[in-house]
Amino acid sequence: MGRLFGTDGVRGVANEDLTAEMALGLSVAAAHVLAEAGTFEGHRPVAVVGRDPRASGEFLEAAVVAGLASAGVDVLRVGVLPTPAVAYLTGSLGADLGVMLSASHNPMPDNGVKFFARGGHKLADELEDRIESRYREHASGEPWDRPTGAGVGRVRDYDEGFDNYVAHLVGVLPNRLDGLKVVIDGAHGAAARVSPEAFARAGAEVVVTLGTEPDGLNINDECGSTHLDGLRAAVAAHGADLGVAHDGDADRCLAVDADGNEIDGDQILAVLGLAMKEAGTLRGGTVVATVMSNLGFKLAMKREGVELVQTAVGDRYVLEEMKRNGFSLGGEQSGHVIVLDHATTGDGTLTGLLLAARVAATGRTLTDLASVMERLPQVLVNVRDVDKSRVGTSAELATAVQEAERELGETGRVLLRSSGTEPLVRVMVEAPELDVARDVADRLADAVKRSLG
């Protein structure tokens, strides 16, 4: 039986893989494990619970709230808010636990459960393992120790969460955004209200919004950070300075410049990294990124005198490295950007605001700012219906990778990895020319199918 927790919580098709019973059981298990770890000692425990707008989030939220309250945890229900908002409120309210219900950029039928520890930080792997173990023990018949009477948790809505979070975002900006015209795509997700409100309060003219009418079924549907065509068209049509796009739970941000060019997470990190270096807030003179970062980003940081530390794929690993060594900026090409002075996790709205603030402060276009790095052609192929657990053990696949690396030499690179959130293997190839990268990636994808199919 595989591990329930992936790189970003427990995910699956809602009501099929991730059921109400599982959500309830995981919540009770989390309460018990944290109590045993001493987190609740000396006080009545409190949890913050939020969700994205998916229809399944309604019943899963009810299950999580019921599980926590049945374990003696008081619950502050903040409703539909971004993942980083739940993390922020968990920390700012002094809560013992945060729970977010979302499957981020995944399609609508999926959902997920993500836990935050006190302070709004992601749970350590060891705690997740203990929660999973306790959940499985209960599922096999082990009874819970349940409080009664006044010992059960109380539940109330915390409607102030929206304003508190938006005020925090605007309050940490180094300068206002007056004079900027911005288009926002909220992916019909958790940022649908938050992001336009934050940009407007910061002084930007939000000329139009896309993906800001969630109905529970349309999250990530041809919109948001995974579908930028609509944003490109809107930026051009309205003469905007830039556009920002979030994913379903708004822990990501990608951007579009005035010419319609995509500005990915690597470029955003480059722009913010140099801004923070200039301001003296880039601790250690270092940016943390993953092995998926474009080689062009690595070359640009070296040229600009910024150290680059690379980690395994997953924002949790970026965050671990940042916390371990006291670094202040890190992120992923996908648009997860962590500014540790102001957030404990990737925050798409904060990222977009800081990017816009740099444009406003310098008077330079986003196109000009992002030109600090040149992206080498990169091709990513997702190979489905294969046994992703065998990526590191197939001799045939290892030989195919070695042959591709020899072919590319020092001018490119190859990366194969199993997805931590989806049932597939990712094949990534970089090369000086797009046709070469595409040809090598297609051949490796075929090798993955043959070897792991």
Q: Is 341 annotated as a binding residue?
A: no
What's the token pair of residue 329? 């900026």
* 387 labeled part of a ligand binding site: no
Could you tell me which of 282, 336, 328, 330 has the C-alpha nearest to residue 305? 282
- The residues that bridge with 307 in the sheet, in sequence order, are 286
Give CA–CA dist 260/239, Å, rounded: 11
What's the rounded Cα separation, in Å, for the pair 167 and 332? Answer: 26
Query: Catalytic residue positions?
Result: 104
What's the chain look like in SS3? CCCCCEECEEEEEECCCECHHHHHHHHHHHHHHHHHCCCCCCCCCEEEEEECCCCHHHHHHHHHHHHHHHCCCEEEEEEECCHHHHHHHHHHCCCCEEEEECCCCCCCCEEEEEEEECCCCECCHHHHHHHHHHHHHHHCCCCCCCCCHHHCCCEEECCCHHHHHHHHHHHCCCCCCCCCEEEEECCCCCCCCHHHHHHHHCCCEEEEEECCCCCCCCCCCCCHHHCCHHHHHHHHHHCCCEEEECCCCCCECEEEECCCCEECHHHHHHHHHHHHHHHCCCHHHEEEEECCCCHHHHHHHHHCCCEEEEECCCHHHHHHHHHHHCCCEEECCCCEEEECCCCCCCCHHHHHHHHHHHHHHHCCCHHHHHCCCCCCCEEEEEEECCCHHHCCCCHHHHHHHHHHHHHHHHHCEEEEEECCCCCEEEEEEECCCHHHHHHHHHHHHHHHHHHHC
Confirm if 272 and 251 have CB atoms less than 8 A apart.
no
Give per-residue burial for 356-373: e unless 16+ CB within 10 Å, then b. Answer: bbbbbbeeeebeebbbbb
CA distance 249 to 160: 19
- On whether 229 is known to bind a ligand per the annotation, the reply is no
Query: Is 104 labeled as ligand-binding?
Result: yes
Distance CA 307, CA 288 (A): 9
Residues forming the annotated binding site? 104, 247, 249, 251
Residues forming the annotated binding site for Mg(2+)? 104, 247, 249, 251
